[in-house]
Structure 1
Protein backbone atom coordinates (compact mmCIF):
# COMPACT_ATOMS: atom_id res chain seq x y z
CA UNK A 1 0.00 0.00 0.00
CA UNK A 2 1.32 3.44 -0.93
CA UNK A 3 1.99 5.94 1.88
CA UNK A 4 -1.27 7.66 2.84
CA UNK A 5 -1.81 11.39 3.39
CA UNK A 6 -4.89 13.22 4.63
CA UNK A 7 -6.14 16.36 2.88
CA UNK A 8 -9.03 18.49 4.09
CA UNK A 9 -10.50 19.34 0.70
CA UNK A 10 -12.60 17.71 -2.04
CA UNK A 11 -10.68 15.26 -4.24
CA UNK A 12 -11.18 14.01 -7.79
CA UNK A 13 -8.92 13.00 -10.70
CA UNK A 14 -6.72 15.92 -11.67
CA UNK A 15 -4.28 18.29 -9.96
CA UNK A 16 -4.40 18.94 -6.22
CA UNK A 17 -2.20 21.04 -3.92
CA UNK A 18 -1.60 20.12 -0.28
CA UNK A 19 -0.22 22.45 2.38
CA UNK A 20 0.47 22.47 6.10
CA UNK A 21 1.77 19.63 8.27
CA UNK A 22 1.35 16.97 5.58
CA UNK A 23 3.87 18.81 3.36
CA UNK A 24 6.55 18.44 6.04
CA UNK A 25 5.64 14.79 6.54
CA UNK A 26 5.70 14.03 2.83
CA UNK A 27 8.81 15.96 1.78
CA UNK A 28 10.99 15.99 4.91
CA UNK A 29 10.02 12.99 7.03
CA UNK A 30 9.23 10.51 4.22
CA UNK A 31 11.61 12.14 1.69
CA UNK A 32 9.36 11.61 -1.32
CA UNK A 33 10.56 12.86 -4.69
CA UNK A 34 9.00 13.91 -7.99
CA UNK A 35 7.15 11.07 -9.68
CA UNK A 36 6.64 9.06 -6.48
CA UNK A 37 3.21 7.53 -5.91
CA UNK A 38 1.17 8.25 -2.77
CA UNK A 39 -2.44 7.77 -1.69
CA UNK A 40 -4.67 10.66 -0.59
CA UNK A 41 -7.89 10.52 1.44
CA UNK A 42 -10.21 13.12 2.90
CA UNK A 43 -12.75 11.10 4.88
CA UNK A 44 -15.37 10.84 2.11
CA UNK A 45 -15.10 7.03 1.95
CA UNK A 46 -12.74 6.88 -1.03
CA UNK A 47 -9.00 6.97 -1.56
CA UNK A 48 -7.16 8.69 -4.37
CA UNK A 49 -3.90 7.32 -5.79
CA UNK A 50 -1.74 10.26 -6.87
CA UNK A 51 1.67 11.10 -8.25
CA UNK A 52 3.92 13.92 -7.00
CA UNK A 53 4.39 16.60 -9.66
CA UNK A 54 6.07 19.43 -7.74
CA UNK A 55 7.55 19.94 -4.26
CA UNK A 56 8.28 23.31 -2.67
CA UNK A 57 8.89 24.48 0.87
CA UNK A 58 5.24 25.25 1.62
CA UNK A 59 3.23 23.03 -0.69
CA UNK A 60 3.21 19.88 -2.78
CA UNK A 61 1.40 19.56 -6.11
CA UNK A 62 0.09 16.13 -7.07
CA UNK A 63 -1.90 14.58 -9.88
CA UNK A 64 -4.74 12.31 -8.77
CA UNK A 65 -5.11 9.56 -11.38
CA UNK A 66 -7.78 7.26 -9.91
CA UNK A 67 -10.57 6.90 -7.36
CA UNK A 68 -10.77 3.72 -5.27
CA UNK A 69 -13.45 2.59 -2.82
CA UNK A 70 -12.13 -0.36 -0.79
CA UNK A 71 -14.60 -1.89 1.68
CA UNK A 72 -13.00 -1.16 5.06
CA UNK A 73 -15.96 0.16 7.06
CA UNK A 74 -18.36 -1.82 9.24
CA UNK A 75 -21.69 -2.47 7.45
CA UNK A 76 -23.54 -0.95 10.43
CA UNK A 77 -23.20 1.86 12.95
CA UNK A 78 -21.16 1.35 16.13
CA UNK A 79 -21.05 4.25 18.59
CA UNK A 80 -18.89 4.23 21.73
CA UNK A 81 -19.21 6.52 24.75
CA UNK A 82 -16.91 6.67 27.78
CA UNK A 83 -15.20 9.14 30.11
CA UNK A 84 -11.75 9.92 28.76
CA UNK A 85 -8.93 8.26 30.69
CA UNK A 86 -5.88 10.17 31.86
CA UNK A 87 -2.88 11.22 29.77
CA UNK A 88 -1.68 9.10 26.86
CA UNK A 89 -4.38 6.52 27.53
CA UNK A 90 -6.91 8.85 25.87
CA UNK A 91 -4.84 8.92 22.68
CA UNK A 92 -4.46 5.13 22.81
CA UNK A 93 -8.24 4.72 23.17
CA UNK A 94 -9.06 6.96 20.20
CA UNK A 95 -6.46 5.28 18.00
CA UNK A 96 -7.70 1.75 18.75
CA UNK A 97 -11.38 2.62 18.31
CA UNK A 98 -10.49 4.11 14.93
CA UNK A 99 -8.63 0.95 13.92
CA UNK A 100 -11.61 -1.19 14.97
CA UNK A 101 -14.02 0.70 12.70
CA UNK A 102 -16.04 2.56 15.34
CA UNK A 103 -18.39 5.17 13.84
CA UNK A 104 -18.30 7.77 16.60
CA UNK A 105 -16.88 8.38 20.07
CA UNK A 106 -18.54 10.57 22.70
CA UNK A 107 -16.60 11.56 25.85
CA UNK A 108 -18.82 11.41 28.92
CA UNK A 109 -19.13 13.37 32.14
CA UNK A 110 -20.45 11.08 34.87
CA UNK A 111 -20.79 11.34 38.63
CA UNK A 112 -17.39 9.69 39.18
CA UNK A 113 -15.45 10.82 36.09
CA UNK A 114 -12.40 13.04 36.58
CA UNK A 115 -11.25 14.23 33.14
CA UNK A 116 -13.68 16.72 31.58
CA UNK A 117 -11.96 18.21 28.50
CA UNK A 118 -13.27 21.35 26.82
CA UNK A 119 -14.25 21.74 23.16
CA UNK A 120 -10.81 23.13 22.30
CA UNK A 121 -9.46 19.57 22.61
CA UNK A 122 -11.57 18.36 19.67
CA UNK A 123 -8.94 19.34 17.12
CA UNK A 124 -6.26 17.38 18.97
CA UNK A 125 -8.48 14.31 19.24
CA UNK A 126 -9.35 14.53 15.55
CA UNK A 127 -5.65 14.53 14.73
CA UNK A 128 -5.28 11.25 16.61
CA UNK A 129 -8.12 9.83 14.49
CA UNK A 130 -6.51 11.04 11.26
CA UNK A 131 -3.13 9.53 12.12
CA UNK A 132 -4.75 6.20 13.04
CA UNK A 133 -6.79 6.27 9.81
CA UNK A 134 -3.64 6.83 7.78
CA UNK A 135 -2.08 3.77 9.39
CA UNK A 136 -5.05 1.37 9.26
CA UNK A 137 -6.42 2.33 5.84
CA UNK A 138 -9.79 3.76 6.87
CA UNK A 139 -11.24 6.28 4.43
CA UNK A 140 -14.05 7.46 6.73
CA UNK A 141 -12.97 9.33 9.86
CA UNK A 142 -14.38 8.27 13.21
CA UNK A 143 -16.43 11.19 14.52
CA UNK A 144 -15.30 12.58 17.88
CA UNK A 145 -18.14 14.47 19.54
CA UNK A 146 -18.11 17.11 22.29
CA UNK A 147 -18.34 16.13 25.95
CA UNK A 148 -21.84 15.16 27.13
CA UNK A 149 -23.39 14.60 30.54
CA UNK A 150 -24.46 10.97 31.01
CA UNK A 151 -28.20 11.71 31.50
CA UNK A 152 -28.26 13.74 28.27
CA UNK A 153 -26.38 11.10 26.31
CA UNK A 154 -28.21 7.98 27.47
CA UNK A 155 -31.62 9.50 26.68
CA UNK A 156 -30.84 10.74 23.17
CA UNK A 157 -33.66 9.53 20.88
CA UNK A 158 -31.37 9.15 17.86
CA UNK A 159 -29.24 6.45 19.51
CA UNK A 160 -29.38 2.98 17.91
CA UNK A 161 -32.07 0.72 19.40
CA UNK A 162 -29.48 -1.74 20.74
CA UNK A 163 -27.90 0.02 23.73
CA UNK A 164 -25.28 -1.78 25.81
CA UNK A 165 -23.94 -0.58 29.17
CA UNK A 166 -20.84 -2.28 30.59
CA UNK A 167 -21.60 -2.90 34.26
CA UNK A 168 -20.80 -5.64 36.82
CA UNK A 169 -23.72 -7.95 37.45
CA UNK A 170 -25.16 -7.50 33.98
CA UNK A 171 -25.88 -10.21 31.42
CA UNK A 172 -23.08 -12.58 30.42
CA UNK A 173 -24.62 -13.66 27.12
CA UNK A 174 -22.78 -13.53 23.82
CA UNK A 175 -23.86 -10.65 21.56
CA UNK A 176 -26.66 -11.22 19.06
CA UNK A 177 -26.09 -10.89 15.30
CA UNK A 178 -24.27 -7.66 14.59
CA UNK A 179 -26.15 -4.45 13.77
CA UNK A 180 -26.46 -0.79 14.73
CA UNK A 181 -25.29 -0.53 18.35
CA UNK A 182 -24.21 2.01 20.96
CA UNK A 183 -22.01 0.90 23.86
CA UNK A 184 -21.08 2.85 26.98
CA UNK A 185 -18.38 2.44 29.62
CA UNK A 186 -18.26 4.12 33.00
CA UNK A 187 -15.30 5.81 34.74
CA UNK A 188 -12.72 4.02 36.89
CA UNK A 189 -15.19 3.91 39.79
CA UNK A 190 -18.04 2.71 37.57
CA UNK A 191 -21.50 4.12 37.02
CA UNK A 192 -23.55 5.00 40.10
CA UNK A 193 -26.75 3.12 40.81
CA UNK A 194 -28.70 6.23 39.82
CA UNK A 195 -26.92 6.36 36.46
CA UNK A 196 -27.59 2.67 35.88
CA UNK A 197 -31.27 3.22 36.69
CA UNK A 198 -31.39 6.10 34.19
CA UNK A 199 -29.94 3.81 31.54
CA UNK A 200 -32.42 1.02 32.25
CA UNK A 201 -35.31 3.45 31.91
CA UNK A 202 -34.04 4.40 28.44
CA UNK A 203 -33.78 0.80 27.24
CA UNK A 204 -30.09 0.11 27.89
CA UNK A 205 -29.05 -3.49 28.58
CA UNK A 206 -26.34 -4.24 31.13
CA UNK A 207 -23.43 -6.44 30.06
CA UNK A 208 -20.87 -7.94 32.45
CA UNK A 209 -17.38 -8.05 30.91
CA UNK A 210 -15.99 -10.56 33.40
CA UNK A 211 -14.66 -10.94 36.94
CA UNK A 212 -11.68 -8.59 36.56
CA UNK A 213 -11.76 -4.80 36.91
CA UNK A 214 -10.96 -3.25 33.53
CA UNK A 215 -9.63 0.18 32.78
CA UNK A 216 -11.87 2.50 30.78
CA UNK A 217 -9.92 2.06 27.55
CA UNK A 218 -9.74 -1.73 27.94
CA UNK A 219 -13.50 -2.04 28.44
CA UNK A 220 -14.28 0.29 25.53
CA UNK A 221 -11.97 -1.62 23.18
CA UNK A 222 -13.41 -4.96 24.33
CA UNK A 223 -16.94 -3.75 23.54
CA UNK A 224 -15.84 -2.47 20.14
CA UNK A 225 -14.46 -5.93 19.35
CA UNK A 226 -17.56 -7.74 20.65
CA UNK A 227 -20.03 -5.63 18.71
CA UNK A 228 -17.92 -4.82 15.66
Structure 2
Protein backbone atom coordinates (compact mmCIF):
# COMPACT_ATOMS: atom_id res chain seq x y z
CA UNK A 1 0.00 0.00 0.00
CA UNK A 2 0.98 3.62 -0.56
CA UNK A 3 -0.28 6.74 1.12
CA UNK A 4 -0.62 10.25 -0.27
CA UNK A 5 -0.84 13.11 2.22
CA UNK A 6 -0.76 16.90 2.41
CA UNK A 7 -1.50 19.08 -0.61
CA UNK A 8 -1.34 16.12 -3.01
CA UNK A 9 -4.03 14.27 -1.06
CA UNK A 10 -6.27 17.36 -0.94
CA UNK A 11 -5.84 17.92 -4.68
CA UNK A 12 -6.52 14.28 -5.51
CA UNK A 13 -9.57 13.97 -3.25
CA UNK A 14 -11.27 17.38 -3.48
CA UNK A 15 -10.09 18.87 -6.78
CA UNK A 16 -9.66 15.83 -9.03
CA UNK A 17 -12.47 14.04 -7.12
CA UNK A 18 -10.78 10.66 -7.43
CA UNK A 19 -13.02 7.64 -6.80
CA UNK A 20 -12.21 4.33 -5.12
CA UNK A 21 -10.98 1.96 -7.79
CA UNK A 22 -9.69 4.73 -10.05
CA UNK A 23 -6.19 4.15 -11.42
CA UNK A 24 -3.39 6.72 -11.41
CA UNK A 25 0.26 7.12 -12.26
CA UNK A 26 2.33 7.72 -9.11
CA UNK A 27 5.98 8.70 -8.84
CA UNK A 28 8.45 8.78 -5.97
CA UNK A 29 10.39 11.79 -7.30
CA UNK A 30 13.60 9.79 -7.67
CA UNK A 31 12.91 7.93 -10.90
CA UNK A 32 10.47 5.23 -9.79
CA UNK A 33 6.90 5.14 -11.07
CA UNK A 34 3.95 2.80 -10.86
CA UNK A 35 0.31 2.37 -11.70
CA UNK A 36 -1.82 2.45 -8.55
CA UNK A 37 -5.48 2.15 -7.62
CA UNK A 38 -7.31 4.38 -5.14
CA UNK A 39 -8.14 2.14 -2.16
CA UNK A 40 -9.66 4.59 0.34
CA UNK A 41 -9.71 7.97 2.09
CA UNK A 42 -8.98 8.49 5.77
CA UNK A 43 -7.65 11.26 8.00
CA UNK A 44 -7.00 13.64 5.15
CA UNK A 45 -4.92 10.99 3.35
CA UNK A 46 -5.50 8.88 0.27
CA UNK A 47 -4.59 5.19 0.33
CA UNK A 48 -3.37 3.66 -2.91
CA UNK A 49 -2.94 0.01 -3.82
CA UNK A 50 -0.03 -0.91 -6.13
CA UNK A 51 -1.18 -2.37 -9.45
CA UNK A 52 2.15 -2.61 -11.27
CA UNK A 53 5.57 -1.02 -11.31
CA UNK A 54 6.45 0.71 -14.56
CA UNK A 55 9.80 0.31 -16.26
CA UNK A 56 9.08 3.11 -18.70
CA UNK A 57 8.94 6.69 -17.39
CA UNK A 58 8.74 10.17 -18.89
CA UNK A 59 12.45 10.81 -18.48
CA UNK A 60 14.80 12.13 -21.13
CA UNK A 61 17.36 10.03 -22.94
CA UNK A 62 19.79 12.90 -22.33
CA UNK A 63 21.02 13.85 -18.86
CA UNK A 64 20.98 17.66 -18.90
CA UNK A 65 22.21 20.01 -16.19
CA UNK A 66 21.29 23.67 -16.62
CA UNK A 67 23.84 26.16 -15.27
CA UNK A 68 21.66 29.29 -15.24
CA UNK A 69 22.93 32.75 -14.31
CA UNK A 70 20.17 34.42 -12.32
CA UNK A 71 17.90 36.76 -14.30
CA UNK A 72 16.04 39.78 -12.95
CA UNK A 73 12.59 39.59 -11.37
CA UNK A 74 10.71 36.30 -11.31
CA UNK A 75 12.05 34.96 -14.60
CA UNK A 76 13.90 32.19 -12.77
CA UNK A 77 10.52 30.78 -11.68
CA UNK A 78 9.56 30.42 -15.34
CA UNK A 79 12.93 28.93 -16.30
CA UNK A 80 12.76 26.31 -13.52
CA UNK A 81 9.22 25.35 -14.49
CA UNK A 82 9.87 25.01 -18.21
CA UNK A 83 13.29 23.37 -17.79
CA UNK A 84 11.61 20.73 -15.62
CA UNK A 85 8.90 20.15 -18.23
CA UNK A 86 11.62 19.77 -20.86
CA UNK A 87 13.37 17.06 -18.87
CA UNK A 88 16.49 18.55 -17.25
CA UNK A 89 17.94 16.56 -14.36
CA UNK A 90 19.50 19.38 -12.33
CA UNK A 91 19.34 23.19 -12.23
CA UNK A 92 22.28 25.19 -10.90
CA UNK A 93 21.53 28.90 -10.26
CA UNK A 94 24.66 31.02 -10.73
CA UNK A 95 25.92 34.48 -9.81
CA UNK A 96 28.04 36.09 -12.51
CA UNK A 97 29.38 39.61 -13.00
CA UNK A 98 26.29 40.90 -14.81
CA UNK A 99 23.74 39.32 -12.47
CA UNK A 100 21.69 42.13 -10.92
CA UNK A 101 19.88 40.20 -8.16
CA UNK A 102 21.77 39.54 -4.93
CA UNK A 103 20.29 37.60 -2.02
CA UNK A 104 21.32 37.40 1.60
CA UNK A 105 21.57 33.90 3.08
CA UNK A 106 17.97 33.83 4.30
CA UNK A 107 16.53 35.09 1.01
CA UNK A 108 18.72 32.72 -0.99
CA UNK A 109 17.41 29.73 0.98
CA UNK A 110 13.82 30.90 0.56
CA UNK A 111 14.32 31.27 -3.18
CA UNK A 112 15.85 27.83 -3.48
CA UNK A 113 12.93 26.29 -1.60
CA UNK A 114 10.52 28.14 -3.90
CA UNK A 115 12.31 26.93 -7.04
CA UNK A 116 12.41 23.35 -5.72
CA UNK A 117 8.66 23.48 -5.10
CA UNK A 118 8.10 24.82 -8.63
CA UNK A 119 10.21 21.96 -10.01
CA UNK A 120 8.21 19.40 -8.01
CA UNK A 121 4.88 20.79 -9.22
CA UNK A 122 6.07 20.93 -12.83
CA UNK A 123 7.39 17.36 -12.67
CA UNK A 124 4.06 16.17 -11.33
CA UNK A 125 2.09 18.06 -13.97
CA UNK A 126 4.04 16.62 -16.90
CA UNK A 127 4.18 13.05 -15.59
CA UNK A 128 7.87 12.84 -14.74
CA UNK A 129 9.09 10.23 -12.27
CA UNK A 130 12.11 12.29 -11.23
CA UNK A 131 12.11 15.76 -9.68
CA UNK A 132 15.10 17.84 -10.80
CA UNK A 133 17.34 19.06 -8.00
CA UNK A 134 17.69 22.84 -7.69
CA UNK A 135 21.17 23.41 -6.27
CA UNK A 136 22.12 26.33 -3.99
CA UNK A 137 23.07 29.50 -5.88
CA UNK A 138 26.83 29.62 -6.44
CA UNK A 139 29.41 31.99 -7.86
CA UNK A 140 30.15 31.24 -11.51
CA UNK A 141 33.90 30.53 -11.06
CA UNK A 142 33.36 28.10 -8.18
CA UNK A 143 30.52 26.31 -10.01
CA UNK A 144 32.70 25.82 -13.09
CA UNK A 145 35.62 24.57 -11.01
CA UNK A 146 33.39 22.11 -9.11
CA UNK A 147 32.38 20.26 -12.29
CA UNK A 148 35.81 20.21 -13.91
CA UNK A 149 36.54 16.57 -13.03
CA UNK A 150 33.40 15.21 -14.70
CA UNK A 151 35.05 13.97 -17.87
CA UNK A 152 31.90 12.29 -19.20
CA UNK A 153 29.95 15.50 -19.91
CA UNK A 154 29.66 17.64 -23.02
CA UNK A 155 29.90 21.27 -21.89
CA UNK A 156 28.17 24.06 -23.80
CA UNK A 157 27.83 27.76 -23.16
CA UNK A 158 25.69 30.10 -25.18
CA UNK A 159 27.77 33.15 -25.99
CA UNK A 160 26.63 36.17 -27.99
CA UNK A 161 30.18 36.83 -29.20
CA UNK A 162 30.40 33.40 -30.85
CA UNK A 163 29.47 33.80 -34.53
CA UNK A 164 30.62 30.59 -36.20
CA UNK A 165 30.10 27.48 -34.04
CA UNK A 166 26.43 26.47 -34.00
CA UNK A 167 24.72 24.17 -31.52
CA UNK A 168 23.53 21.57 -34.02
CA UNK A 169 27.00 20.95 -35.40
CA UNK A 170 28.46 20.46 -31.92
CA UNK A 171 25.67 18.12 -30.81
CA UNK A 172 25.83 15.98 -33.95
CA UNK A 173 29.60 15.72 -33.60
CA UNK A 174 29.38 14.11 -30.16
CA UNK A 175 27.79 10.89 -28.92
CA UNK A 176 27.77 12.10 -25.29
CA UNK A 177 24.35 12.09 -23.60
CA UNK A 178 25.40 13.91 -20.40
CA UNK A 179 25.30 17.62 -21.18
CA UNK A 180 26.08 20.72 -19.12
CA UNK A 181 24.47 23.91 -20.47
CA UNK A 182 25.63 27.35 -19.32
CA UNK A 183 23.26 30.28 -19.95
CA UNK A 184 24.17 33.87 -19.05
CA UNK A 185 22.17 36.69 -17.45
CA UNK A 186 20.97 39.98 -18.90
CA UNK A 187 24.09 41.60 -20.29
CA UNK A 188 25.68 38.24 -21.10
CA UNK A 189 29.09 37.04 -20.00
CA UNK A 190 32.07 39.27 -19.33
CA UNK A 191 35.05 38.42 -21.62
CA UNK A 192 37.02 37.00 -18.70
CA UNK A 193 34.06 34.78 -17.75
CA UNK A 194 33.91 33.42 -21.30
CA UNK A 195 37.64 32.68 -21.11
CA UNK A 196 37.15 31.00 -17.72
CA UNK A 197 34.34 28.84 -19.11
CA UNK A 198 36.48 27.79 -22.07
CA UNK A 199 39.35 26.94 -19.73
CA UNK A 200 37.00 24.57 -17.86
CA UNK A 201 35.94 22.72 -20.99
CA UNK A 202 32.83 24.67 -22.04
CA UNK A 203 32.42 25.07 -25.80
CA UNK A 204 30.98 28.41 -26.95
CA UNK A 205 28.03 28.07 -29.33
CA UNK A 206 25.61 30.50 -30.95
CA UNK A 207 21.82 30.32 -30.94
CA UNK A 208 21.59 32.46 -34.08
CA UNK A 209 21.74 36.08 -35.16
CA UNK A 210 19.03 37.44 -32.87
CA UNK A 211 19.66 38.41 -29.25
CA UNK A 212 17.29 36.39 -27.06
CA UNK A 213 15.99 37.21 -23.61
CA UNK A 214 17.45 35.12 -20.81
CA UNK A 215 14.37 32.98 -20.30
CA UNK A 216 13.87 32.54 -24.04
CA UNK A 217 17.51 31.50 -24.54
CA UNK A 218 17.33 28.87 -21.79
CA UNK A 219 14.16 27.25 -23.10
CA UNK A 220 15.25 27.36 -26.75
CA UNK A 221 18.64 25.85 -25.87
CA UNK A 222 17.15 23.00 -23.83
CA UNK A 223 14.57 22.30 -26.54
CA UNK A 224 17.22 22.09 -29.25
CA UNK A 225 19.38 19.77 -27.17
CA UNK A 226 16.39 17.55 -26.41
CA UNK A 227 15.44 17.44 -30.09
CA UNK A 228 18.93 16.25 -31.06
CA UNK A 229 19.82 14.13 -28.01
CA UNK A 230 16.70 13.54 -25.96
CA UNK A 231 13.08 12.61 -26.35
CA UNK A 232 11.25 15.51 -27.98
CA UNK A 233 9.15 14.36 -30.88
CA UNK A 234 7.95 11.03 -29.51
CA UNK A 235 6.17 9.86 -26.34
CA UNK A 236 7.51 7.01 -24.22
CA UNK A 237 4.59 6.60 -21.83
CA UNK A 238 1.06 5.36 -22.51
CA UNK A 239 -0.35 6.73 -19.26
CA UNK A 240 -1.79 10.23 -19.54
CA UNK A 241 -3.25 10.53 -16.05
CA UNK A 242 -2.22 12.79 -13.19
CA UNK A 243 1.07 11.95 -11.45
CA UNK A 244 1.03 12.23 -7.66
CA UNK A 245 3.88 11.84 -5.20
CA UNK A 246 3.28 8.71 -3.07
CA UNK A 247 4.98 7.34 0.02
CA UNK A 248 5.11 3.66 0.97
CA UNK A 249 3.40 2.72 4.23
How would you bin the TM-score normalised by the shorter chain? 0.7 to 0.9
Unaligned runs of 5+ in 2: 227-249
Contact kept? 2:25, 2:36, Cα under 8 Å: yes
Name the SS for the 1:114 alignment partner.
coil
Q: Does 1:176 find its partner at 2:171?
A: yes
TM-score where L is the length of structure 1 = 0.85
Alignment of 1:107-126 (within 5 A): 107-117=93-103, 118-126=108-116
For residues 18 and 153 of structure 2, the distance between their equivalents in structure 1, rounded to whole angstroms, comes to 48
Name the SS for the 2:54 alignment partner.
coil
Higher normalized contact order (CA 8 Å, seq sep 6+, divided by chain length): 2
Which of 12, 20, 30 aligns to 1:44? It is: 30
Q: Does 1:162 find its partner at 2:154?
A: yes
The aligned residue for residue 213 of structure 1 is: 211
The aligned residue for residue 197 of structure 2 is: 199
For residues 158 and 128 of structure 1, the distance between their equivalents in structure 2, rounded to whole angstroms, comes to 30
Contact kept? 1:169, 1:207, Cα under 8 Å: no
Alignment of 1:119-158 (within 5 A): 119-156=109-146, 157-158=148-149
Number of equivalent positions? 214
Query: Cα deviation per residue 1:6-61 (whole Å; 9 max; x = unaligned)?
Result: xxxxxxxxx12221111110111111122222221112323221112221352111
Cα RMSD (Å): 1.9
Larger deviation, residues 130-139 vs 157-166 = 157-166
Compute the displacement of 1:220 (Å).
1.2
After superposing on structure 2, the runs of 4+ consecutive aligned residues of structure 1 that deviate more than 4 Å are none
Compute the displacement of 1:87 (Å).
4.1
Name the SS for the 2:52 alignment partner.
coil
For residues 211 and 75 of structure 2, the distance between their equivalents in structure 1, rounded to whole angstroms, comes to 16
For residues 71 and 42 of structure 1, the distance between their equivalents in structure 2, rounded to whole angstroms, comes to 12
The aligned residue for residue 190 of structure 1 is: 188
Larger deviation, residues 25-34 vs 104-113 = 25-34
Unaligned runs of 5+ in 1: 1-14
